[in-house]
Homo-oligomer: A and B are copies of this chain.
Amino acid sequence: MRPMASPVPRLAERVLSGDPRAIARLISRVERGDAGVVEDIAQLFEAGGGAHIIGVTGAPGTGKSTLVAGIASDFLRRGRTVGVVAVDPSSPYTGGAILGDRVRMSAVAAEPRMFMRSMAARGALGGLARATADAVTVLDAAGKDVVLVETVGVGQDEVDIASAAHTTLLVSVPGLGDDIQLLKAGVVEIADVHVVNKADRDGADLLVGQIKTMLNHGPSEGLRDAWQIPVVTTVASREQGIGGLVDTIEGHHRWLRRGGELARRERHMAAARISAICTGILRDRLQDPGVGAEFEAAVEGVYRRRVDPWTAAQRLVEGLSWRAPQGEH
């Protein structure tokens, strides 16, 4: 037991001891953007760094959730503790991710070494990416060996989330059509491992061949020379191919640790996160009551077409004060 600084232990302290209810509460606070949550995250951040963070992205309909559940179970069988953050924009009509959370909560109850959580998109642009990164920090600090981050991967925000990982999986399925697969350059380039799921369907061999052709003809960045990006086939609904996929994921982690790549990647993750937080600070500052009048004047000028939006924005940022208001981090 760690010594407590106060009679009622802080939420962050309870997270450090791995308490699942504390994890759930802190992630809820992160989602809502509660006051003071930054202090908790800052404290937890310095205690973290041990988890292998795995991004899993793919279009809707590729069976990502089933695949993630399979990967998580396989890691558990290998004696690892696992955290899962699912970033799911297709929340039900009622808003939030309530149903998903209830389903997942039963899994938590059944398996104390695993913690699964759906994040709901709330607030402004980038809010989801920030909240997801914070949730990963919570699970990392709580001592999870592996943290899986599942995203739909359509949209820059989702790509940013997926790329904030040590190992990124890109999932596709046969017969879904090129147009709804994630074949845009930005997503393909972040894949460390390609997964063709539902590989018992017609067209699986064709899709594997297309991906391999693409990998051979794609732009050579020279950054991953030593890592041959594999194409793994799975049928997640029947638990086929999961063990091989997890072997591949572990192989990638070993490869990262062997050379300088792990440090390069973690610096990239740090840079992306700092940028995202800076953007968030800017957005908060623009919504600050003290800035409100200037912002409204800029809006009015642009609305009346007395000034163009580029000039208005430049004047606005030049006049901003960046001191954090009292009480804020």
Q: Which residues of A are in contact with B by a Cβ distance under 8 Å?
A: 38, 41-43, 45-46, 48-49, 59-61, 89-93, 95, 121, 125-128, 133, 152, 154-158, 160, 177-186, 214, 217-219, 263, 266-267, 270-271, 273-275, 277-279, 281-283, 286, 295, 298-300, 302-303, 305, 308-314, 316-318, 320, 322-324, 329
Contacts and interface: CB of A to CB of B under 8 A. Distances in A.
A90 B179 contact: yes
Contact of A38 (B156, B267, B310): B310
A323 B318 contact: yes
A180 B309 CA distance: 35
Contacts of A273: 302, 309
Contacts of A181: 90
Contacts of A128: 156
Nearest to A267: B303
Contacts of A303: 263, 266-267, 270
Contacts of A270: 299, 302-303, 309
Given A89-B155, A155-B154, A278-B282, A179 B60 contact: yes
A46 B283 contact: no
Contact of A305 (B49, B218, B322, B329): B49
Q: Which 8 A-B pairs have the closest CB atoms?
A: A155-B155, A60-B180, A42-B308, A277-B313, A270-B302, A154-B154, A45-B308, A318-B322
